[in-house]
Amino acid sequence: MWFHSFIPKLQVGEDALDTLDRLACPLGPVAALVVGRHAIADGIADRVRKNLQEAGVASVIIQGPPGEPTLAECARGLVEARAASCSSVIAIGGGSVLDMGKCIAGLYYHTGDPGSVVEEALYQSPRDVQALPWIAVPTTAGTGSEATHVSVLSDPDRGLKQSMRCDRWYAQAVLIDPKLYVTAPPHVTAASGMDALTQAIESHVSVGATPVTQALSREATRLLSESLITAYHNGQDLTARRDTAVGSFLAGLALTNARLGLVHGLAHPVGIRYGIPHGRACAILLPHVMRFNLEVARQGYAELAAAIGLTDEGDPRAAESLIDFIEQLNEKMGIPANLRDAGMIPEHITELAAAALPSGSTRANPRSVSQSDAESVLAGLL
């Protein structure tokens, strides 16, 4: 049996942001604006507040996280949203900002001390209670958080990164405005774009993949493979920005229904250990995990290679051509081929591999993964 969840409303196009007030009005009189520093610096937050005010919606600014949201940052946002008696949340920024906004909306009605509420939701599970409606306005093409019911938080005290999810946490609406992406610098475009491409590829071959999710994954892979390098070199290209954004959104829809794989299972402990941005860690790991998966995922990779025009699906080396393409794309965007320069040494491998095994992403990998398998993949990155 298949079960698929999708967000109710999507608007894509230049100046889509100008429709935000009309979407926010039915959600109540006070909106929590969770915004990243770039949305503030670029004047986006002020523009949105003005439009909302003219439409009769009051708003309170909640500063988004500078990196991956922590338990403390989400608890602080929850306190601020409750103090303002917010009726909705609007998150404007990259994936970390969207994750924080989603967390605030999802936990708003959970009773108890905010810090305890966030910790309980992260390490046990969110209670099945009403959530505030929220609207996602992404400004980077990467995590696909706008399309999912998942928030990923970091816990610096424990040295962990953990996800939590609830079916009530899908956004009421998603606005994709390519003009909001043009200020993302090349290194952010590369890392976030490779995160999205990894999600498209992993969800296509995961154990939870269905024909519906694979259709989304294929189109996401096509859009990202054709537009990412253009967006990297020319951030002002609105067509490339739109296509990377839509590709990221489609990959998010696919992964929230099909899950991911070993790349994401390893990327979390690797990113924490070496301070590597999540998307960059995914990009480095992806070709190595794909080679590990070849014996069971060859056909799926061949389908993607054909979808992006690398070769015919029947080519016996179609899967390898996709791996070659990923390695070449990484090289063009200055992403290294190993973790050695990041500081990984053989003595770290056992611990990193062990940390990846409990991950739901690792369990969704098309090829089952043992401790020695994970160690072997990591050893190839030295």
Q: Are residues 27 and 93 in the same domain?
A: yes
Which residue spans within 54-126 are E strands per DSSP? 58-63, 88-93
- Give, as one character, the DSSP assignment of residue 11: E
Query: Which residues have CB under 8 Å from 42's CB, separation 6+?
Result: 183
| 174 vs 332: CA distance, rounded Å | 31
- The confidence band for 97, taking pLDDT boundaries of 50, 70 and 90, is very high
Q: Are residues 248 and 128 in the same domain?
A: no
Q: Do residues 36 and 92 make contact, with C-beta atoms less than 8 angstroms apart?
A: yes
Does 2 map to a domain? no
Q: Are residues 198 and 345 in the same domain?
A: yes
Q: How many structural domains is the chain composed of?
A: 2
Q: Do residues 362 and 352 make contact, with C-beta atoms less than 8 angstroms apart?
A: no
The DSSP H or E segment spanning 101 is helix 95-107
- Structure token pair of residue 136: 């996602």
What's the domain range around 232?
Answer: 184-379
Burial group, residue 75, by CB count within 10 angstroms (0-12, 13-18, 19+): buried
Q: What is the DSSP string of 27-41?
A: G-SEEEEEE-HHHHH
Domain termination site, one of 138, 159, 179:
179
Does 3 map to a domain? no
For residue 151, the Cα-to-chain-centroid distance in whole angstroms is: 9
Burial group, residue 183, by CB count within 10 angstroms (0-12, 13-18, 19+): middle
Domain termination site, one of 131, 159, 179:
179
Q: Do residues 84 and 57 make contact, with C-beta atoms less than 8 angstroms apart?
A: no
User: For the chain, what percent of residues have pLDDT higher than 70?
Assistant: 99
Q: Looking at the predicted structure, is the pLDDT value of residue 49 above 60? A: yes
| 222 vs 33: CA distance, rounded Å | 33
One-letter amino acid for residue 286 of the chain: L
Assign residue 69 the CATH number of its domain: 3.40.50.1970
Q: For 53-64, what is the mean pLDDT?
A: 95
Q: Are residues 193 and 259 in the same domain?
A: yes
Domain termination site, one of 149, 179, 209:
179
| 189 vs 183: CA distance, rounded Å | 10
- Give, as one character, the DSSP assignment of residue 16: G
User: For the chain, what percent of residues have pLDDT higher than 90?
Assistant: 82
| 100 vs 264: CA distance, rounded Å | 20
Assign residue 296 the CATH number of its domain: 1.20.1090.10
Q: Are residues 204 and 265 in the same domain?
A: yes
Q: For 244-270, what is the mean pLDDT?
A: 96
Q: Looking at the predicted structure, is the pLDDT value of residue 3 above 70? A: no
- Structure token pair of residue 178: 């390519």
The structure's pTM equals 0.94
Q: For 87-106, what is the mean pLDDT?
A: 96
Using alpha carbons, select from 213, 194, 86 the residue that is nearest to residue 148. 213
Q: What is the pLDDT of residue 66?
A: 86
Q: Are residues 34 and 146 in the same domain?
A: yes
Does 28 map to a domain? yes
Q: What is the largest CA-CA distance in the chain?
A: 61
Q: What is the pLDDT of residue 262?
A: 98
